[in-house]
Amino acid sequence: MIKAHDLRVVLGGSEILRGVSIEVPRGTAVALVGPNGAGKTTTLRSIMGLVKYKGRVELDGRPIDGLKPHERAALGLGLSPEDRRLFPNLTVRENILLPLRALKLREDRLELVLSLMPVLRELLEKRAGLLSGGQQKMVALARAMVVGTSAVLLDEVFEGLSPKMRDDLAGVVKEFISTTGAAALIAESNPSYVRFAQAIKRIERGRITG
């Protein structure tokens, strides 16, 4: 379970988050929907520990506010960032396994991810920089899933994809949640992309409005 309470973030003198509270039980997907600049990415980055914030964040009932991003990842929190952040000269396999190796975690979860996205098997030895944008999003999602034994934070994973690929990835996310019982917090600008979520929260100007 992800639980964030009263998150407040100030960047460059501007208040980006103004008391955001959100809860995502295990085995469910909650979508955080709003326009660009509303605070979606900052909410996810705060939960991951990538920006300084005031407030509280818990993972499966454990406070994680004092933990660094890699320490949160070691507890089973995975992030698929909006910009993917892949290493272009590394293979798909290396990109997916990199966080597991860095955290000294078991690599057997790769097989689970490949069972959900079998198309990646054909790409494992290909350099990430040679992939299409949609394929790179799949790799970033896979990387989040191998780490996210407790929860995954997915930032605009469906944006810019063809309708078919979007539907395919939505199916992957749903199956991942069903199979693992993990929680998923999904940030998207377009609510139609996340209709499968159990709950949709709207954020505007750093506040949850509905």
Q: pLDDT (tens digit, 9 = 90+) per residue, 52-62?
A: 999 999 999 99
Banded model confidence at residue 107, pLDDT cuts 50, 70, 90: confident
Taking the C-alpha atoms of residue 96 and residue 145, their distance in angstroms, rounded to an integer, is 9
Token representation of residue 6 = 């009263």
| Number of Cβ atoms within 10 Å of the Cβ of 181 | 13
Domains of the chain: 2-208 (3.40.50.300)
Which residues have C-beta within 8 Å of that of residue 14, sequence separation ≥ 6? none
Check if the beta carbon of residue 152 is closer than 8 Å to that of residue 182: yes
Kindly indicate the confidence band of residue 106, based on its pLDDT and cuts at 50, 70 and 90: confident
